[in-house]
Structure 1
Amino acid sequence: MKSIFTTEAHTEILKRIEQLDDQAQAKWGKMNVGQMAWHCQGPLNIILEKNDYGMKPSWFAKLFFKKSLYNDKPWRKGLPTAKFLKTQEDKDFNTEKVTLVELINELHTQRDKSEWNPHPAFGHFTADQWGQMQYKHLDHHLKQFGV
């Protein structure tokens, strides 16, 4: 599994984001491209400890979903989205894109950090798992928009 902490994966993700514009159409799901760029900021805010969204530890999430966050198996299309990562509001893609890229770059600067605080719902992840999880989430949504 690729990791957002590697230079290659970081560069790849940024190039794919650059291919999007405010007219990009989703191949599946209900989000428009602005909402997707806003949505993708959530997990980055969690790892960067900017927002925990009021999440609580969940034994159910740890037992049944945790490994799927960072393993090599792609997520299926149309998975349910956590309520705190959903918005019904239109989001300006260009504004959200700037914030998303800033968060990705900020996270990449921390690539050599070895100790990370636990995820508020899923608990402890290794540095490798955090990097893989962030790449997998971004990759999933960029594929959703055809890039």
Structure 2
Amino acid sequence: MKSIFDQNTRAELIRRIAQISEANKAEWGKMDVYQMLKHNTFWNGWILGTADHTFNQVILGELFGKIALKRMIKDDKPFDRNIPTSSQFKVTKSEIDLEAEKSNWIRLINAYETYNNPGFIHDFFGKMTKEQIGVLVYKHTDHHLRQFGL
């Protein structure tokens, strides 16, 4: 399975991120390209532990999180379309510098080369192994790039 911790996988994702432009329209979902970029930089900052936001696991996640995680990362199948976004990661504003946000996302993707956030707790899945994080981050990134035809 692909993982964000693999150098070739990161290079592939960065190549796809670099292709994002204002012309990209969502093939599903409610986000525009600006919201998708901001969502991903915010989300990756959370996973990496570089941004000032942490969340505790929600009750529903405590009950079903591990089962859902195993189902989502058990194989190479991409995430389903229109999976719900946690409210804390929904972006409503579209007023960002597209090129600056792309650069920020690329910087964050590169930061996985030296990933070190042992205290990370996903708000739904709970405590995760580094291997699980690697697959989840790849699939999340791939999901949003495919959402915009990339």
Same fold flag (TM > 0.5): yes
| 1:107 counterpart = 2:109 | no
Root-mean-square deviation over aligned CA pairs: 2.0
Say whether the 8 Å CA contact 1:2–1:132 is kept in structure 2. yes
Q: Does 1:92 align with 2:97?
A: yes
CA 1:106 to 1:142, structure 2 compared with 1: closer, same or farther past 3 Å?
same
After TM superposition, the structure 1 stretch with the greater mean CA deviation from structure 2, 4-13 or 54-63, is 54-63
Structure 1 residues 7 and 27, CA gap change in structure 2 (3 angstroms): same
1:141 to 141, 144, 148: 144
For residues 137 and 109 of structure 2, the distance between their equivalents in structure 1, rounded to whole angstroms, comes to 9
TM superposition shift of 1:33 = 1.0
TM-score (norm 1): 0.85
Structure 1, gaps ≥5 residues long: none
Moved more, 101-110 or 136-145: 101-110
CA distance in 2, matches of 1:96, 1:71: 31
1:124: Cα distance to partner?
1.9
Take 2:15 and 2:145, find their aligned partners in 1: how far apart are those partners? 11
Question: What is the number of equivalent residue pairs in this alignment?
Answer: 144
Runs of 4+ residues deviating >4 angstroms: none
Shift of 1:32: 1.1
TM-score (norm. length: structure 2):
0.84
Give the equivalent residue in structure 2 for 1:12.
12
The residue number in structure 1 matching 2:118 is 116
Structure 2 residues without counterparts, runs of 5 or longer: none
* Cα distance in structure 1, aligned partners of 2:119 and 2:72: 17
Give, in whole Å, the separation in 2 of the partners of 1:106 and 1:135: 13
Within a 5 Å distance, the mapping from 1:66-85 to structure 2 comes to 66-72=69-75, 73-85=77-89
Residue 70 of structure 2 aligns to a residue whose secondary structure is helix
Distance 2:7 2:54 in 1: 32
